Amino acid sequence: MTIRFTEDHEWISLDGDVATVGITTFAQGQLGDVVFVEVPEAGRALTKGKDAAVVESVKAASEVFAPVDGTVVEGNQAVVEDPSLVNSDPQGAGWFFKMTLANPSQLDGLMDQAAYDAFVEGQH
Amino acid sequence: MRYLPLTEADRRDMLAAIGAPSVDALFGDVPAAAHLTQPIAGLAPHQGELQVERALSRLAARNVPAGSCPSFLGAGAYRHHVPASVDQLLTRGEFLTSYTPYQPEVTQGTLQYLFEFQTQVALITGMDVANASMYDGATACAEAVLMANRVTRRNRAVLSGGLHPHYRDVTATTTGVLGVELVTLPADPKGIEDLAAAIDDKTSCVVVQNPTLFGHIADLTPLAEACHAKGALLVVVVTEVVSLGLMPSPGSMGADIVVAEGQSIGNGLNFGGPYLGLFATRDKFVRQMPGRLCGETVDADGKRGFVLTLSTREQHIRREKATSNICTNSGLCALAFTMHLSLLGELGFTGLATLNHAKAVQLADKLAAAGVTVLNQGFFNEFTVQVKGDAAALVDTLAAEPILAGVPVSRLHPGQADLADLLLVAVTETTTEDDMDALVKALGGTL
Amino acid sequence: MNTQGRKTTPDAESTAGTDVGTFTGHKGLVHEEPLIFELDNPGVTGVDLEAAPAVASRLGGLKARTGIGLPGLSEPTVVRHYTRLSQKNFGIDSAMYPLGSCTMKHNPRLNEKLARLPGFGDIHPMQPQSTVQGALELIDQLAHWLKTLTGMPAVAMSPAAGAHGELCGLMAIRAALQARGEGNRTRVLVPESAHGTNPATAAFCGFTVDAIPAEANGRVSVEAVKAKLGPDVACIMLTNPNTCGLFEPQVKAIADAVHAAGGYFYCDGANYNAIVGRVRPADLGVDAMHINLHKTFSTPHGGGGPGSGPVVLSDALAPYAPLPYVVHGADGFRLVEHAGEVEGDAQPFGRLKAFHGQMGMFVRALAYIMSHGADGLRQASSDAVLNANYVKARLQDLMSVPFDGYCMHEALFDDRFLKDTGVTTLDFAKAMIDEGFHPMTMYFPLVVHGAFLIEPTETESKATLDQFIGAMRHLAGKAKASDAAHFLAAPRYTPRRRLDETAAARKPVLRWTPPAA
């Protein structure tokens, strides 16, 4: 299982043919208490870097971008019902959607854990 | 200069504390050529209250207040009696001189009345939820079309020929720049149009006014069903909100969005503004709504309190992705509305509506008895009469009496010969039997 | 004769214990007030109506409505309810309200009185125009002064608020571009420091938004603008004085560059109050600018509205001003309400509002302009700028200033002085409430971290400013002395303490519903 990160603070974790996508621990901390999440429907085609989901706190709103091209398999209804999961377990139960990848090699262009940690450090 | 507390000594001391040689130095970033060195051309120096009051009173005296003579004007603005306590309370400085409630701990007054306002609007429209007001009914109508487009992801709206032409025009102007397609039905003085036939698979919504501009009223249930069968929304426009005290609510007839002009409750005529737009919808669409929303919560001690909420829809957070660009709304007009409706209550609101309708029926009967043609079968407090000759010319003639006989349809639908002899006549609780008789005499005499 | 005396000096016990709770939950003047729906006394009403004439209803077959659910309340109950609500509110009448960019200046009561004259307050928008000549003349007079003060040749009076004025300005620009055959100009340049309404309006008007980065000195540079200009640029939306409280020194050069590239200059006039009578926007190359009558010309904010946002227009844009508008006719003033009545080169882009504009606000604004006069308007701008600079000068040693030098009518600070104190801008604001001041605008503009935007306005006295400065210095000192607890628990003395906005947004309760039986 590989986990990769984008500069927009999404994570993507590939397990077999299906990847899971969410926002990072750092990103949820920046947003504050998450109050609303909108996830894509199964079957929707996603384009790398384009809107895929929405996450909102009281005073901030952000698009969640697709880290790679592909097709949505499932949106996480649990975070829609209980957005606080994004705060309490952003890289676990607070995932946003699962997708199949059109072009798995796109993952190679994303950051690994060490690179992302350094990237976040540089944002301060 | 009674509004300016600083003395010359204060100004000197303050400049010294700043370390600036002069006030002009503080304006050092202004390009040299842009400094205005001359006094404002033609504007007199400051004046006392007495002088300003004298000058503006002279202008006010050159107008004929609607309350000073028999008046039958409506068409989107109605003269109702506003209880004295409404305006007395409205001018309390804590309401009048407060801003948008950004700091909820010190604006619970504003927030609580907005919560009460939202609830009242939801109740009278028969909807789940209402926002904290829009500029007026017409801008609310335009926003409703845009919202229906967002909800349905469609781009074609059908506008009834009974819709107030100003509402139609504001909607066309506002949505036109976004490429929205409007299907506008011709003016419908007889109330016979077939809106259902205009709905197709690309229709986002049908916008229908009830009562219509011409005063016709309809059961909208079949139209709502026709909309929903095609995946479109029904937007109901109400320009005389007192009608909701007697007519079935738009919500009960299947409306998805209700917009209304709220001026009739709590607010004077004011030559057209400020007024307040009411905007109500179903719970499921709340995130697509424009405008501010107030919600209930608790404070750090667990006590109930109110805050502005769901703000991520709005411009100050969402910027170019906001549901609307609206910021300032009609807060104080909403307060007047809420206080007046609180005074009326269930009995007063239904009673007021009943009184308006009964007086309108009385006038319609008197006119018919004098041989004047009334076009409407059903109506609330406004109906259309057919006069002999040009209605606008007749209105101008009667204004000299003065009798404000109504709004000639040609002022709203100009250039249509078939509408030139039609006059919109509105009656409210302020209309006396003497007023009615004056109008009957004036209109009956033209036959 | 009354021979029963009673104690008239407080004794020692009366100073002990401040908050021991009360039976009612009220605290002296501050009442716990239910919602009107919870005060319902069915069958009671606060309005007496005459008996309706006995006629058969003519509702076209519809059944009369019953059971709306409105509560029944008497007049005394309603008066007391809203009086109590008012007592939970902070207004300019209460104390200093230095909300940056919002211009919370004194609202003269003469203006209220005049707006309520029957000749203004009780006239119908569709009255025959012969019966409203004074009203049309008033609109014309106010329009004249707005044009004269700004140096602009035309003004559209109907927009209902600032954001509505922005829409008006951008629609005029769009219409002008289309008339030139350049409808392909679809990009609008908006600095990052702009009010949220600017990008929202541009999008609402069908344009795409392109952000211009802020310079390190808080200004917009002509180079940054030039780098974004191109044949697809419709206009720039620039706030001047800007949202950092600074006059844009390159504003004329920016206007010239935009014009040279075929675009227009929309100026957000939210901060026009800093320069009235001292600088004319026309001399800065402005093509369109809205004027918030509720800011610059003192009409009351009313808890969030109503506003009024007339838009002054250059010659290039004037023909596209929306309907309706007032013209001088042969026998008095006349309203042009329809495209068919238009004369000359006018090509109105449409209509923005049901009727002619915010008449009630026009009366107030004109009364304000006449009260101040030419000398007073200039003095008001000067004092507004002086007051802001005084606040800045007296606080800049303790609080951190993102941009050095003189400011205009508002002083901007950031949160660097709170670094490592455990106190945020929000916490600081809440502590200001306990000190009796409304907080400044916080976290705006977005280009400054943890912004404090303080706009005292010209209607604050030096004594009030000194007290405010004293309170701010006291709080800044407390924060630096690691007394974070003082801030985190604030406000303590308000009708409600901090409210849970997260809970409000996660499970929205947007109306009262009857309790389940």
Q: Burial level of C274, CB count in 10 A (0-12/13-18/19+)?
A: buried
Task: Examine the pLDDT at B178 and tell me if it is beyond 70.
Answer: yes
pLDDT score at B424:
98
In tens, the pLDDT along C177-202 reads 999 999 999 999 999 989 999 999 99
pLDDT on residue B244: 98
Query: Which residue of chain C comes nearest to A36, CA vs CA?
Result: C506
Mean pLDDT of B206-234: 98
Per the listing, tokens 């305006």 go with: B87
Interface of A with C (CB under 8 A): 33, 35-36, 56-59, 83-84
Q: Which residue has the higher pLDDT, C6 or C97?
A: C97
Question: Which residue type sits at B426?
Answer: A
**Who among C443, C501, C505 is closest to A36 (CB)?**
C505
ipTM above 0.85, yes or no: yes
Cα separation, B140 vs B277, whole angstroms: 6
Q: Give the mean model confidence (pLDDT) for residues C349-378.
A: 98
- Could you report the per-residue pLDDT of C31-80, keeping only the tens digit for each? 999 999 999 999 999 999 999 999 999 999 999 998 999 999 999 999 99
Q: Which band of pLDDT confidence, cut at 50, 70 and 90, is reported for residue A8?
A: very high
Give the residue-averaged pLDDT of B86-108. 97
Mark yes or no for CB contact A35/C443 under 8 Å.
no
Amino acid at A18: V
CA angle C488, C492, C496 (to 5 degrees): 105
Per-residue pLDDT, averaged over B195-214, amounts to 97
pLDDT score for C18: 65
For B201-248, give the DSSP string: TTEEEEEEESS-TT------HHHHHHHHHTT-EEEEEES-GGGGGTSP
B311 vs A: CB within 8 A = yes
Q: How many CB pairs under 8 A join B and C?
A: 726
Tell which wins on pLDDT, C487 or B313. Answer: C487
Name the minimum distance, in Å, from the CA of B10 to any CA of chain A: 40
Cβ contact (<8 Å) for B287 and A58? no
Report helix, strand or coil for B337: helix
CB pairs under 8 A between A and C: 15
DSSP for C359-420? HHHHHHHHHHHHHHHHHHHHHHHHHHHHHHHHHHHHHTTTSB-SS-S--SS-EEEBSGGGTT
CA atoms B246, C123, B113, B133: torsion sign: positive
Angstrom distance (rounded) from CA B387 to CA B420 = 9
Q: Give tens-digit pLDDT for A78-100.
A: 999 999 999 999 999 999 999 99
DSSP C33-78: ---GGGG--TT--S---PPPP-----STTPPPP----PPP--HHHH
> Strand B181-184 vs strand B156-159: parallel, antiparallel, or unpaired?
parallel
pLDDT band at B447 (very low <50, low <70, confident <90, very high): very low
Share of chain C above pLDDT 90, in %: 92
CA gap C411, C441 in Å, rounded: 11
B386 has a pLDDT exceeding 60: yes
| Whether the Cβ atoms of residue C495 and residue C448 lie closer than 8 Å to each other | no
Residue A124 has pLDDT above 70, yes or no: no
pLDDT the model gives residue C225: 97
Query: Cα distance from B114 to chain A (closest Cα, Å)?
Result: 19
A32 touches chain B (CB under 8 A): no
Q: Is B297 in the A-facing interface, judged by CB distances under 8 Å?
A: no
Using a CB-CB distance cutoff of 8 angstroms, which residues of chain C are in contact with residue B172? 350
Average pLDDT score over residue span B135-146: 98
Contact B76 C355 (CB under 8 A): yes
pLDDT of residue B400: 95
pLDDT in tens, B239-263: 999 999 999 999 999 999 999 999 9
Q: What percent of chain C has pLDDT over 70?
A: 98
In C145-186 the beta strands, taken as DSSP E runs, fall at 154-156
Handedness of CA B407, B412, B415, B418 (dihedral sign): negative
Query: Which chains pack against C, by 3+ Cβ pairs within 8 A?
Result: A, B
DSSP category for residue C325: E
- Give B122's Cβ-side CA count (13 Å radius): 21
More confident residue, C144 or A59: C144
Q: What is the mean pLDDT of residues C217-223?
A: 94
pLDDT for residue C265 is more than 60: yes
Contact yes or no for A84 and C505 at CB 8 A: no
C119 touches chain B (CB under 8 A): yes
Give the model's pLDDT for residue A122.
82
Count CB atoms within 10 A of the CB of residue B41.
9
pLDDT band at B314 (very low <50, low <70, confident <90, very high): confident
How far is the C-alpha of C206 from the C-alpha of C228, rounded, in Å? 19
A84: which chain C residues are within 8 Å (Cβ-Cβ)? 506
Shortest CB distance from C353 goes to which of B25, B247, B273? B273
**Cα(A18)–Cα(A1) distance, rounded to whole angstroms?**
10
Would you state the pLDDT for residue C329?
A: 82
B positions 229-288 inside 8 Å of A (CB): 287
pLDDT, residue C264, reads 98
Instruction: Tell me the average pLDDT of chain C.
Output: 95
pLDDT of residue C8: 82
Dihedrals phi, psi of A97, to nearest 5 degrees: -155, 160
DSSP A13-76: EEETTEEEEEE-HHHHHHH-SEEEEE-PPTT-EE-TTSEEEEEEESS-EEEEEPSSSEEEEEE-
Does the pLDDT at position C16 exceed 70? Answer: no
Shortest Cα distance from A35 to chain C (angstroms)?
A: 5
Say what percent of chain A tops pLDDT 90. 90
Measured at the CA of A34, the angle between CA A30 and CA A38, to 5 degrees, comes to 115
CB contact under 8 A, A58 and C505: yes
Q: How far is A71 from chain C (nearest CA, A)?
A: 28
Residue at C174: amino acid letter: R
DSSP, res B45? B
* Contacts for C88 with CB less than 8 Å, ≥ 6 apart: B94, B106, B107, B108, B109, B112, C30, C33, C495, C496
The residue in chain B having the minimum alpha-carbon distance to the alpha carbon of residue C100 is B99
- Count of pairs with CB atoms under 8 A, one residue in A, one in B: 15
